[in-house]
Amino acid sequence: MTRIELQGTDQVRIAGLGCALPDYSLDQESALRALRRYYGDSLTPRSEELLEKFFRHPGVRRRCFAMDEPEQIFEEDPDARVERFTNRATKLAAEASRNALRRAGLGGGQPAALVVNTCTGYVCPGISNYLIEEMDLARDVKAYDLVGSGCGGAVPNLEMGIARAGEGPVLCVSVEICTATFQMSNDPSLLVSNALFADGAGAVVLRGRAPGLEPVSSHTLHEPRYREDIRYVYRNGELHNQLSATLPAKSGRVVEELVRELLDREGLGEEDVQHWALHPGGEKVMDAIQRRLGLSDEAMQPSREVLRDHGNLSSATVWFVLRRILDEGMESGDLCLLVAFGAGMTAHAVLLRR
C-alpha cells in the first residue's frame, strides 16, 4: 500500500480540462464485420461465440480509432505501427491540450511544465518532445514522460503535475492509441480487448490561485499479486493485452479497499461524495465496483455513458468521465472522487473539491 499526501495543494486547481478523439469511428456491428472479413477463417467456433457476445453487449456502442480504415491496423508492420502511434498520439495530445488551455483561460499561453503519460506505445524521445514541437511550446519547458501505468496512469500524471505547479501552469496529458497494440487470435483476452478498447486523449491544466477543482487528497494501492490478471505482455516483440476472467472481482476488491481507506482518512463516507469519476474498465468491472461500494445507478451513470459512447480509452478515459460530470454541473463545495486503475494491479484515487 502506498499513501501519497498532496502537499501544498491549497492554491493549486485543475483550471481546465480538454478531451480529444480521432475522426474515424465505427459502431460495434461494423467493427465486428470488419474483424470477420479479415480473420473469419482463423477463428474457432468458440471464438465466434465470444465475439458475438462481446461486440453485441449494449455496454459499448461506438468507438473512435486513430486510423483511416480497419485494414490499416490489420496489415501494418511493427515499424508502421510505431510511426502511426507517434503521429496520432501527438495530434490527439495537442488537440486535448489546446482544449484544456482554452478552458483554463490561457489560450496560447505557455505552460511551465508538461507531463505526458501513455502505455500503448514507446518512443524515445517521448511524446512530450513531439508535443513541444507540435504546439510550439517554449524550448525550456520542463517535460516528463510517464510509461507503464496502464489505465490508471492519469493520476500519477496529475500528482507529478501538482509537484511542479509552484513554478507556473502545468499541462498534464494522457494519450492512448490502443489500436497500436492491436492483436488478433483465439485468445479470449484479445477478443474482449478488441471489443472494448479505443483511442483518445485527455488533458488538464493545473494553475495556482485559479478557479476550478481543488485536489484535496490522494491514495494509491498496489497489488502485485494480481499482476498477471491485467497487463501487457511481449510476444514476438509486440504488445499483447492480457486480461483474466477474474479481473472484475479482483478490481472490485482493490477499488473498494482503496476508496474506503481514502475516505476513512478524510473522515468521510460514500454518502459525502456527490460525484464519482470512475474508470470504466468494462461493464462487469463497473458492476463489481458498484456492488462493493454500494453506489447508486446515478453515481455510475457518467462512467457507463463514456464506456457506451467511446469504449475504454485506457488512461485517458477518466478525464472523459470527469469532463462529462463538469458539463452536467458541479456545485461549489461538491466533492468528486476520481478513481483510475489498471496494470499491476495498481489503483489510484484523488478527492477533488469544486
Asked if 76 and 182 touch (Cβ cutoff 8 Å), the reply is no
Whether residues 114 and 172 share a domain: the answer is: yes
Whether residues 131 and 244 share a domain: the answer is: no
pLDDT of residue 10: 57
Whether residues 288 and 184 share a domain: the answer is: no
Three-class secondary structure of residue 112 per DSSP: coil
Mean pLDDT across 51-70? 95
Grade residue 334 by pLDDT with cuts at 50, 70 and 90: very high
Q: Count up the domains in the chain and report the number.
A: 2
Whether residues 114 and 47 share a domain: the answer is: yes
pLDDT of residue 126: 97
Domain boundary among 184, 208, 232: 208
Whether residues 204 and 220 share a domain: the answer is: no
pLDDT of residue 111: 95
Asked if 217 and 23 touch (Cβ cutoff 8 Å), the reply is no
Of 284, 279, 282, 283, the C-alpha closest to 255 is 279
Three-class secondary structure of residue 78 per DSSP: helix
The residue range of the domain holding 222 is 2-6+212-353
pLDDT of residue 325: 97
Whether residues 103 and 147 share a domain: the answer is: yes
| Percent of the chain predicted with pLDDT > 70 | 97
E strands, 119-179, where?
142-147, 170-177
Mean pLDDT across 173-192? 94
The half-sphere exposure of 115 on its side-chain side, counting CA atoms within 13 A, is 21
Question: Alpha-carbon distance 305 to 289, whole Å?
Answer: 16
Domain boundary among 208, 233, 264: 208
Residues in the chain: 354
Grade residue 2 by pLDDT with cuts at 50, 70 and 90: very low
Mean pLDDT across 2-31? 81
Whether residues 331 and 236 share a domain: the answer is: yes
Whether residues 226 and 313 share a domain: the answer is: yes
Domain boundary among 147, 179, 208: 208
Grade residue 5 by pLDDT with cuts at 50, 70 and 90: very low
Which cell numbers in the block locate residue 259? 476508496
Which cell numbers in the block locate residue 253? 476488491
Look up the CATH number of the domain holding residue 77: 3.40.47.10
Whether residues 171 and 235 share a domain: the answer is: no
**Confidence check: pLDDT of 32 > 90:** yes
More confident residue, 2 or 245: 245
pLDDT digits (tens, 9 = 90+) for 150-178: 999 999 999 999 999 888 999 999 999 99
Q: Which of 10-14, 42-46, 49-53, 325-329 has the lowest mean pLDDT?
A: 10-14
Whether residues 287 and 180 share a domain: the answer is: no
Whether residues 19 and 91 share a domain: the answer is: yes
pLDDT digits (tens, 9 = 90+) for 257-276: 999 999 999 999 999 999 99
83: Cβ contacts below 8 Å, ≥ 6 apart: none
Grade residue 338 by pLDDT with cuts at 50, 70 and 90: very high
Amino acid at 187: D
Whether residues 72 and 192 share a domain: the answer is: yes
